[in-house]
A and B are shown apart, each in its own frame.
Chain A
Amino acid sequence: MSVGLTLTNTLSQTARAIFLWPVWWYTKGLVWVVEVAKRMTIHTSRQLAVGVWVKNLFVPMFGLHDWQSRIISVFMRSLQIAGRSMGMLAWFALVITLAVLYLLAPLVAGGMIIFHISAFF
C-alpha cells in the first residue's frame, strides 16, 4: 500500500468527517438520537411500570384483604400512579431537553467560535 494513497485518503477522510459532519448531524445522527431516545423511554416506562399499578389499582397491597387495607391500598396505589406518571413526564422533559441540546449544540459551538475568534485580532 502506497504512503501517498494513504495520505490522500487520510486528508480526504478528515475533510469528509469535518465538512460532511453538519449534514450527518441533522440527518443520520438525528435518526440515531430518536432511536436511542425511544429505546430509553421504553426502558424507563418498563422500569416505572405505571401500567402494572393501574392494572392492580383495586388489588389490595401486601396481601391485606380487610376493607380498611383495601381503602389504604387504593389510595397508596393512586399516589404511586400519580408519582410514577410524574416521573414519566419528567423523563419526557429530560429527553426533549437533551434532543433540543443535540439540535443546538453545533449552532452554539459554531456561533461561539465565531464570536471568540475576534480575540485574536
Chain B
Amino acid sequence: MEAVKNKKAKVIAGVTIDGVFWHFEEKVTSETGAQFEAEQSGRKWAFRFLLAMGGFSFLLAFLAFVLQPEAVIGSGVFGSPKIALFFFWVSALFGLVILSQVIERKRAVAVLPIAKEAAGQVTLLPSAESLGKHDEIGRFLSPELRTALYAAMELAKKHGHTQVSDLHLFLAMMPAHSIRMLFMRLAVSFEGMKGAIGRKMSALPKGPVVFDSVAREAVAGAFLRAVVAKQKTVGVVELFSEIFENNPFLQELFYSLEAEATEVRETVQWLRINTKLKERFESFRQSAAFKPTGPMNRAYTSVATPFLDRVSEDLTDLGVKGYLPMLMGRDEEMALLLRAIEGGHQSVVLVGPVGVGKKSIVSGLAERMIQEDVPEILQDKRLVKISIPHILSAQGGGSADERLLYTLQEVGKSGNIILVIDGVEQLMGSSGGPDLSAILSSELEKGYTFVIATTSPQAYTNYVEQNILHGALQKIDIREPDNALTMKVLQSKIGAVENKNHSIFTYEALSSLIDLSARYMHESFLPKKAILLAEEVGLDVGKRGAGWQTVGKEDVASIISQKTNIPVTQVSQDEGQKLLSLESRMHERVIGQDEAVTSIANALRRARVDLRSKDRPIANFLFLGPTGVGKTELAKTTAEVYFGNENSMLRFDMSEFQDQTSIARLIGGNNESGLLTEAVRKSPFALVLLDELEKAHPDILNLFLQVMDDGRLTDGLGRTIDFTNVILIATSNAGTGYIQEQVKLGTALGDIKTQLMETELKKHYRPEFLNRFDGIVVFKPLTMDDVAAIAYLMINKVIQRLSAKGITFKATDQAIHELAQKGYDPQFGARPLRRVIQEEVDNSVAEFMLSGQVDRRDTLVLNEGGEITIEKAKAL
C-alpha cells in the first residue's frame, strides 16, 4: 500500500472496491509531466543504447575471432584470456540486461484487480486522515492515459485556467489512437466541436493551475469503469466514458453532431469487444492445443471410424483448426441445450428459421467441447456433423438405410461421438429421398449416442411433429436475436469484412444494417441478413478508392434502395426541392383533381422523411368519383414517383371477388398461396390498387381492415405477409351519381365528401372501415378545360410514338380543342377522348404508313376539321 502523497488535498476522490479505497493522489504538475515524458523518452533511448552496445560488443567479438581464429579454437575456455571471448561475454551480459528490460516493460503496467463484490461509485472523502484501507490507482494507468493527463495539465496551464477540467482531459485525449477510432466509428469530426469547446473553455475561471479533485475524480471514475468492464488496465477509453457520462455539455455536443449518448456508449463497448474477442481467441487457442483432432480420444478408448469420416465433418477438428465462427451471446439457448443433454441424455432439435444462428450455436458447443468447458458427458468427445447428401446420394437414395445404419454403428462402436444432423427433415423424406427416421429412432433408443438436430419451424410442423422421431427429440426454439444481440454479432464479425474490403464501418452504418434489413428484407432473418448486407456494402464502398473508405448509413441505405427500389437514403437538397414540388410533377400526368394530388403528395412526403407509422402501410387512400376522371392515372403516377416505376403496382379488380369463396383466392387456403398475399410477398414494395372496392364481398373488406390497421395479413400457408411497405389505394364508384349531381349544382367538394360519408358510403362500407383510410378523396367530374388539357397530353404521347419512327407530328390548337369537344362526356370523363384520338388520329396515321404515303423525316399535321396533311421532307 502506498501512503497518500499529497496530504494538502482538501478532498480525496476515490472508489471503494472489496473494502479497499482506491484513489489517485499522484502529483500531476508540469514538472512531473516533463519528468514522465523525459523518463519515457530516456527509457526508449536507454534501451536503444543497450541494444547498440550489445550488438557492437558482439561485432567486436566476431571481428577478433575472424582476425585471430587460431587464438580461440582449440585453446579451451580457460586456456588463456582472449579478446574475442571477452567481447563475446560482454555482449552476452548486455543480452541478459536487454532481456530483463523486455520482461520488465511487459510488466510495467500492473493488471487491474478483479472485483469480488459489486463495485460502488466515486466518492469524495474529506481528508487523508479519514482513509481506511487504501491503495493508489496510478500503477494501473496505461502510458497513453498518463500522457493525456499531463497534456491536460499543460493545456490548462497554457490557457491560464485554475483547474484541469473535464474539457482539458477531453481535448488531451484526442491524439490517442482509440479515441480517434471512436470518433471515426461515430462519424463525428473533432473539427465540428472546436468552436463550441473553445467558447465553453473561455468561460472557465483563470488563475494558477492545479490538478485537483475534478480531474482526480475523473481518473477514479475511469478506474471504476475499467474494473467493472474487467479490463486489464485503465486506458483512455475508460476516461473518455467517465467524462462523457458526467458532462451534459459534451453529451449535447455529440448529440448536435448526430451521435446520441446511447450510440457513444455502444461504440465504446464495440472498441472493447475486439480486445475481448482477441483475449477469448488466445485462451481458446491454448485450450485447443490439448484437444485431439483425429478419431482417437485422449483416453484411447475410441475406435477408428473410416466410414463415418467419409460421410461427415468433424466440427471439433474444424474448431481446433480455427475454421468455426465464435458464438456471441445465446447463453440461454446454450444452457437449455446443455441441460437437455446432461439431464436426460436426450437428443435435441434446434428449431429456428434460416439465418438466426442455429449453426453458430452448434459451433459454440464445439468451441466449448474443445475447451472441455462442458458437462462430463460431453468431455473428451467429438462433435461430428453427418452430411445428409452423402447418406442419401447414389441411385436415388437406394441403400441409404444401410449407409445410415453403418454410420450409426460406427458411432456406437467409437463411443466418443455426438452427432449433429443439420436439416433433420431431409432424413424424413422432405427432399424426395427415403424416410430413414425409423432407423435413426431405433438406434437412438439404444442410448449409445444422441444427436443435435436442426430444422426450420415449417419443416418441424410439416415433418418432425408427424414423425416417429418427434418423441426422441427435445425441441429448443432458436428465435431471431434482438437488435442488441445482433449488434454484438455484427460488431464481432465486421472486422473481417473491414479488412477484406479496406473499409471502416461507422456505428450508424451497423445500426442501419440492422434496422433497414429488418424493415426491408423480409425473406431472411437476423443476424445473417445483416451480415450478408454488410459484406455487400463493404465490397461496394471498398471499390471506391485505393485507401480505406468509411462506410456510413447512407451507403447502407443506398444498397437497400438499389435492392428494393424504395427511396431510403437521406433526402438530398435536390430531392428535397423535388419533393416540395411533387404536386406540379404529378400534375404533368394528372389533370385537375388538386385535392387528390395534394393528399397523395403529402403522404409521400411524410413517408420519405420517415415520419409515417412503421406498423401500417405507407398510406391508405380511398378514391371516390366517376369513371375516367384520373383515379387510376393518379395511382400509376404515385407508383412512378415513389417506387420509381409505374409498373410497381399490384392491381386487383374487386368485381372479381364478389362471393365469400373468393377470400381463399385472395389470401390462399388449403396449403395454397393467395393472389394478393403472394403478390405482396414477392413485391413487398409496391402500390396495391383495389379497383371498384364496393363490389368486393363484405368479408374481404374485413381483411383489409386488418391490413390497414396492422400492416400484415396471414396467408393460407400460415405465413405472415408484410404490408407495411405498400401504398394501399382503393377506388370506388359508390356515390358517383351524387357527386356528379352536386358538382353540377356547384356544391363545395368538402361538403360533398361529408354528405357522402354520412349517407352514400354507409350503404357500402362500415364506419370503422372508412376510418382506417388516411384520406378519402373525392374526384370531381372533368370540365371541358380539363379534357382539353388531357387531349394535349394524349397528343403528346402520339408525337412521342411517331418520333420513334422518324415521323414528326404536329397538331394545331383548334384541332386539339375539336378532339376534346368530341371526346367530352360528363358521364365517362376522359375515357371517350382516348377512343376519339384512336379513331381520328391513330387510324389515319396507320393508313398513311401502310400505304407508304408517309416516310421517315416527313411531317404530319393535324388540322382543324380532323384533316391530316403530309409535309414531305426535302430530298437529300
Contact = CB atoms under 8 A, between A and B. Distances in A.
SS class, residues of chain B in contact with chain A: helix
SS class, residues of chain A in contact with chain B: helix
Given A10-B42, A62-B302, A116-B85, A106 B96 contact: yes
B100 A56 contact: no
B190 interface: no
B93 A117 contact: no
Contacts of B97: 17-18, 21
Contacts of A18: 50, 97
B298 A10 contact: no
A113 interface: yes
A119 B299 contact: no
A14 B98 CA distance: 11
B93 A109 contact: yes
Interface string A60-88: 11110000000000000100000000000
Contacts of B289: 43, 47
B90 interface: yes
Contact of A115 (B39, B78, B299, B380): B78
A6 B302 contact: no
A60 B301 contact: yes
Report the interface size class on chain A.
35 or more
B42 A29 contact: no
B9 to A, nearest CB: 27
Contacts of A106: 93, 96
B93 A116 contact: no
Contacts, number: 126
Contact of A63 (B39, B49, B286, B301): B301
Most buried by A among B101, B299, B380: B299
A112 B302 CA distance: 57
B552 to A, nearest CB: 39
Contacts of A61: 300-301
Contacts of B96: 21, 25, 105-106, 109
Contacts of A112: 77, 85-86, 89
A1 interface: yes
Interface in B277-306: 286, 289-290, 298-304
Nearest to B92: A109
Contacts of B47: 17
Contacts of A34: none
A29 B102 CA distance: 11
A117 B42 contact: no
A58 B552 CA distance: 63
B86 A117 contact: yes
A24 B81 contact: no
A16 B50 CA distance: 12
A117 B81 contact: yes
A24 B89 contact: no
A113 B89 contact: yes
B46 A59 contact: no
Nearest to B41: A6
Contacts of B89: 109, 112-113, 116
A113 B93 contact: yes
Interface string B367-388: 0000000000000100000000
Most buried by B among A5, A17, A46, A56: A17
Given A56-B300, A63-B413, A119-B81, 16 more contacts: A5-B38, A8-B38, A9-B45, A13-B39, A13-B42, A24-B104, A28-B104, A28-B107, A29-B103, A32-B103, A43-B289, A52-B380, A56-B299, A109-B93, A112-B77, A120-B86
